[in-house]
Amino acid sequence: MKKRPMTLAEKILSLKSGKGSVEPGELIEVPVDLTLANDITGPLAIKVFEKTGVKKVFDPEKIALVMDHFTPNKDIKSAEQVKLCREFAKKFGIKHYYEGGASGIEHALLPELGLVGPWDVVIGADSHTCTYGALGAFATGVGSTDLAAAWITGKTWFKVPETIKFVYYGKLKPWVSGKDLILYTIGDIGVDGALYKAMEFSGEAIKNLSMAERMTMSNMAIEAGAKVGLMEVDRKTRCYLRGRYKKEIKPLKADKGAKYLEVREYDVSKIDPVVAMPHLPSNVKPVKELPRIYIDQVVIGSCTNGRLEDLKVAAQVLKGRKVNPNVRCIIIPATPRVYQEALKKGYLRIFVEAGAIISPPTCGPCLGGHMGILAKGERAIATTNRNFVGRMGHPESEVYLASPAVAAASAVLGYIATPEELGL
């Protein structure tokens, strides 16, 4: 019997479940290739796991614990959380435990280390686990209880999602990036526009994006409610994975004739640099249409935009310029390797000379954790992924989401702006 044509999500889940094909809405059980947790969600999963009395994990090489949210430890409570994870890792021989100088922001660190790749099923107790869809992995966030169950059984379950296909064509305008494309898309469909759907990103404009920009787009699929944000495995994907990913790099492409719930097309040549206004990632407006919005803080970093390419863009804008005296500009390299490369390439020097603050790799201010909390009435523009009420500090503060280019230009001018306003 001939298999029906399948989307990217359906192809991965049909293979992993051992079925010839799967249908949207079908409940399936699949083995997991990697599970992950951090210093906030890890302790919850560990406590659930320990309550079961199970004496060993399913595979100590398929569990990653990354201490990235409140580290270096900001207080006693966060130190206790990390200690609990550290002791669990030692007790069960967890190979991929990262803390201190070995740690980075999990969704930048794990791809960099080659722990995720095409056809993998990855679950993490963090909603932005969907980042790895840019590498062709069915990767999604789960609750800490589901994670603990996977630590015991090595399996998890899914309802096979319907897929919405997003086709991007045309040539990007100057200073428009993957961050602008995903914000524009979320602005178009809304924060629940892809609820429990697979978002499949395709088209010539996607092929032209760097891997960093692709990961930015998959990272924010969850901000549209999506289960996963997937991309085909092409030459760029293979080049990125080569030398990192230890398993075979298998091609992944949607079948011709695959059935989609909906297909949306975007001419990227018509998209300008955008910003998501408070308090939703879908409240998107072109920067050129904004009134003058003064800011108190800029954050360039996070699992969304803390990679080397992001810092390169920020350095291009900040070189030879000064951060506005009314603004705190915080720059967070996502991993130790990104930090080291940024140092080697002179980006960190540019940032320091501009008057920016350089943080060690951490999620930090993105979740209102530390390293840049907002006071009442303060405004920040950030390359992070969420701008809900109180997300970065006081409930009466405001967060605007943007690309590294817009964030860096805003740091110089003191209000939300594009690099073109600096003559770039």
The CATH code for residues 29-156 is 3.30.499.10
Question: How many CA atoms does the CB half-sphere of 317 hold within 13 Å?
Answer: 27
C-alpha 286/C-alpha 136 separation (Å) is 30
Global pTM reads 0.95
Which residues pair with residue 63 across a beta bridge?
Answer: 35
Cα distances (Å, whole numbers) of residue 413 to 175, 285, 297, 392: 17, 19, 12, 22
The one-character DSSP state at 114 is: T
Superfamily (CATH) of domain 275-422: Aconitase, domain 3 (3.30.499.10)
C-alpha 120/C-alpha 118 separation (Å) is 5
Q: Which residue has the tokens 């863009």?
A: 313
Residue 20 tokens read as 């010839």
The one-character DSSP state at 5 is: P
Residue 214 has a pLDDT of 98
Superfamily (CATH) of domain 163-270: Aconitase, domain 3 (3.30.499.10)
Domain with CATH 3.30.499.10 in the chain: 29-156, 163-270, 275-422
List all residues 6 or more positions away from 119 whose beta carbon is below 8 Å from its beta carbon: 12, 15, 16, 136, 137, 250, 252
C-alpha 47/C-alpha 36 separation (Å) is 15
CB contact at 8 A, 80 and 71: no
> What stretches in the chain show pLDDT beneath 70?
1-2
Q: Which of 111, 104, 107, 99 is nearest to 124 (CA)?
A: 107
Residue 25 tokens read as 């809405």
Strands (E), 228-309: 228-231, 262-267, 274-276, 284-286, 297-300
The one-character DSSP state at 323 is: -
**Helices 144-153 and 41-52: crossing angle, nearest 10°?**
50
Residue 71 has a pLDDT of 84
C-alpha 47/C-alpha 130 separation (Å) is 25
Q: Are strands 284-286 and 274-276 parallel, antiparallel or unpaired?
A: antiparallel
Q: Tell me: the pLDDT tens digits for 40-91?
A: 999 999 999 999 999 999 999 999 999 999 988 999 999 999 999 999 999 9
Residue 330 has a pLDDT of 98
Backbone torsions φ then ψ of 38, nearest 5 degrees: -125, -170
List all residues 6 or more positions away from 349 whose beta carbon is below 8 Å from its beta carbon: none
